Amino acid sequence: MNTEVRVNCAPIAAARSEQDQWTGRYVRTLVASDWHPGSFSSPAAVHLAQQFLECARASGDRVVLNGDIFEGLFEPAEQAETAHPVVRDMIAEMTTRGQLFRLAGNHDPDVGRSVFIVDQPKFGRVLISHGHAVDSLHHSRLGQLGDAISRRMGHLVAIRGAARFAERAANAIAGVAIENAFQTRCRALVEQSKCVVGIFGHIHRRYLAPDDAYANAGCLSRTRLEYLILSDDVIQLAHLELGERRLQESRRHACPV
């Protein structure tokens, strides 16, 4: 039976069992987040996203796209998706085939569910969630105001530049404290969900450490796409660079859970 998880006094929809969401059998699960392609994005970064999906489709890996996959804050999500029809259509096709599941982030909140749980036979339940639901800054008045301005005027270069400057300034002033608070809240969500580890996104900083219930898959940049591999009894960080045609192999010496 599903249990309700509450964060910031608001309920998060409980995840359904893995069996209800996947069709077929898959050896590995690849988790990626924070791609943010929009009509103003770098062609190289979008090509990396396409490369990743092509490789995953060919290798038969299942994929969880963990929020902020298309830019829906600085422009309408439909406009961002229309600007990149190849990536959009590949996501739709792999979803229809049961090979891909997409979660909502703060830049694409209308995608659907915000929490997904994978049952790994060798070590238990793994929670996957973008993480914005536990971000206190995102839920603050300042955060809500910033989002409102971005949604209304994000098509302007000056507004996007100001948002990036504000983010860099916040990280320079209190980046460590912000990240530590975010990780603490994510670990609490993992515990509430009765999972052994949680894979998040949102802050664009990949992270994995032994015996830590918090992990982060990283993000997409102009030169590489970061992701996380979940297989057997290990989790490992990986990345795909421009021109690479194969995803990284699972390693026995990766971080054990």
What is the overall mean pLDDT for the chain? 82
pTM, whole model, 2 decimals? Answer: 0.85
Give residues with Cβ within 8 angstroms of 238, minimum separation 6: 226, 227, 228, 229, 247, 248
CATH 3.30.470.20 fits 15-256, yes or no: no
CA within 13 Å, CB half, 42? 12
Tens-digit pLDDT profile for residues 34-70: 999 998 888 999 999 999 999 999 999 999 999 999 9
Please name the helix (run of DSSP H) or strand (run of DSSP E) that holds residue 191, with its range, or none.
helix 157-192
Every domain of the chain and the residues it spans: 15-256
Tens-digit pLDDT profile for residues 199-208: 999 999 999 9
